[in-house]
Amino acid sequence: LSACVHNAESVAHKRKLAQWGALCCGLGLCNQHTLVVYVLVIVPWALLQLSAPSVLSVWDVFGLGLWFSAGFLPYLYLPVSSYVNMARWSWGDQTTLAGLLTHLLRAEYGTFSLAKSEAVVLGFVSRLKTSQPFCCCLCSTHRRRCSLVWLIAVMVSLYSVFFAWRANLDIETPLLLGVVERFWLQADAGMCVLAGVGLGWSVSWLQRRLAGGAVWTAGAWLLTAGLLSHMIHSNHRCAFFSGAVIFRRS
């Protein structure tokens, strides 16, 4: 959606896409509260995109706020299910405000505290240093689209630094390591997007400079398929049906 907003030709189209984006941000926060790090970055960027070609009115901002709030509607299920004893004690008694806030803040998970160790911090800082030249290269060679690339790069960087700082779980325990890995998927998703953008631009550059455009395109598809196959193969052992489970209910 961010790419669509960035490339939209008309202001009306940008506003429509921004509304869907606001709704998706609200829905995403229902599922994963750590998405707030991304939302804090993408909201100012989206407002800047909307205000660039025209004056952004107060009503436009209010409308986007309503779409964002609509994304939280699934939370209405929590007090109802708690009231009929379907999920009363899973995240606190959600018929009360304190119990509902316990779930909203993921207090039993430590809210924003996950998986701290010196090795984890150094590992992710090292990964950020490795990705910075790549991001700068993308931005310098394609100035028209550097805004979108910088948006993703900043979101991934803030997310990685924030959680490397706030982590506090013992990753030597397999169960807790699985919890931590789930949260880091958001940063990995951003890195995959940057890698895809870089691959696409590399293919375009090779097609302009060298002959055989179809060969470079086919090579890019083969490389992508190979990486996906490798990821599926390497993570297949973690699937539930493989028997490699950490916890089994008696």
Interacting residues of 137 by C-beta distance below 8 A, sequence separation 6+:
198
Same domain, 141 and 160: yes
Same domain, 141 and 83: no
Does residue 176 contact residue 115 with C-beta atoms inside 8 Å?
yes
Q: Any idea which residue has 């490389």 for tokens?
A: 223
Report the alpha-carbon distance of residue 97 to residue 112 in Å, rounded.
Answer: 20
Predicted confidence at residue 112, as pLDDT, reads 56
Dump pLDDT digits (tens) for 34-45: 788 888 888 888
Report the alpha-carbon distance of residue 203 to residue 217 in Å, rounded.
Answer: 6
Q: Any idea which residue has 């803040």 for tokens?
A: 105
Report the alpha-carbon distance of residue 74 to residue 26 in Å, rounded.
Answer: 10
Helix (H) or strand (E) holding 33: none
Mean pLDDT of 45-70: 81
Same domain, 250 and 144: yes
Same domain, 90 and 192: no
Does residue 180 contact residue 114 with C-beta atoms inside 8 Å?
yes
- How sure is the predictor about 250, in pLDDT bands with cuts at 50, 70 and 90? very low
The answer to whether residue 159 sits within a structural domain is yes
The answer to whether residue 38 sits within a structural domain is yes
Count Cα neighbours of 160 within 13 Å in the Cβ-side half-sphere.
23
The answer to whether residue 67 sits within a structural domain is yes
Same domain, 139 and 250: yes
The answer to whether residue 8 sits within a structural domain is yes
The answer to whether residue 121 sits within a structural domain is yes
Domain boundary (57, 86, 109) is at: 109
Whether pLDDT at 160 is above 50: yes
More confident position, 26 or 33: 26
Same domain, 153 and 43: no
Helix (H) or strand (E) holding 234: helix 213-235
Report the alpha-carbon distance of residue 166 to residue 124 in Å, rounded.
Answer: 13
Does residue 159 contact residue 38 with C-beta atoms inside 8 Å?
yes
Same domain, 125 and 201: yes
Whether pLDDT at 8 is above 80: no
- How sure is the predictor about 213, in pLDDT bands with cuts at 50, 70 and 90? confident
Same domain, 90 and 170: no
Mean pLDDT of 131-158: 64
Same domain, 100 and 120: no
Report the alpha-carbon distance of residue 123 to residue 179 in Å, rounded.
Answer: 18
The answer to whether residue 231 sits within a structural domain is no
Range of the domain at 81: 2-109
Q: Is 194 helix (H, G, I), strand (E, B) or coil?
A: helix
DSSP for 32-57?
A: -GGGHHHHHHHHHHHHHHHHTTS---
Does residue 81 contact residue 60 with C-beta atoms inside 8 Å?
no
Mean pLDDT of 71-78: 81
Whether pLDDT at 245 is above 50: no
Question: Helices in 52-117 by DSSP H: which ranges?
Answer: 58-70, 77-83, 97-104
More confident position, 129 or 187: 187
Domain boundary (49, 77, 109) is at: 109
Q: In angstroms, how far is CA 100 from the centroid of its own chain? A: 24
Same domain, 117 and 105: no
Q: How many domains does the chain have?
A: 2
Predicted confidence at residue 66, as pLDDT, reads 92
What mean pLDDT, rounded, does the chain reach? 72
Same domain, 145 and 190: yes
Whether pLDDT at 117 is above 50: no
The answer to whether residue 236 sits within a structural domain is no
Interacting residues of 160 by C-beta distance below 8 A, sequence separation 6+:
124, 125, 127, 128, 187
Q: What percent of the chain has pLDDT over 90?
A: 1
| Token couple for 245 | 């489970």
Same domain, 169 and 50: no
Domain boundary (75, 109, 143) is at: 109
Closest of 117, 114, 233, 236 to residue 182, by C-alpha:
114
Whether pLDDT at 122 is above 80: no
The answer to whether residue 43 sits within a structural domain is yes
Whether pLDDT at 74 is above 50: yes
Predicted confidence at residue 53, as pLDDT, reads 61
Dump pLDDT digits (tens) for 162-176: 777 766 667 777 777
